[in-house]
Amino acid sequence: MKKISRFSLAFCLSLFFGMTALQANNTLPNPITTSTTTAPTVDPKIQEMTQRLEQIQAMDKSQLTAKERKALRKEVRHIKKAVGGGVYISAGVLIVALILLLILT
């Protein structure tokens, strides 16, 4: 029991200090940058996809047939999948990983 409490305390502290270190790195100015800043360049394909999403959201979908609405939904899912591209960890996987860490230590 003592081992588990020490491990959980160390884990929580490392998370806390790790997050504060990340936040501190984000707030520091970059010493290499000059006074002239440029806007970040966005891939033209991604920009085109986001514009298409905005067009779909602005559409009046009440006059569309069921097949057309279904095609729009598929297109929106495809665009969001292509643009999103993030890595997500579900709560279940996180819990299983923590339990495995506790068991293996």
With b for 16 or more beta-carbon neighbours within 10 A and e for fewer, the 33-71 pattern comes to: eeeeeeeeeeeeeeeebeeeeeeeeeeeeeeeeeeeeee
Whole-number pLDDT of residue 105 = 74
pLDDT at 6: 72
Residue 26 is predicted with a pLDDT of 53
Residue ranges in the chain whose pLDDT is less than 50: 24
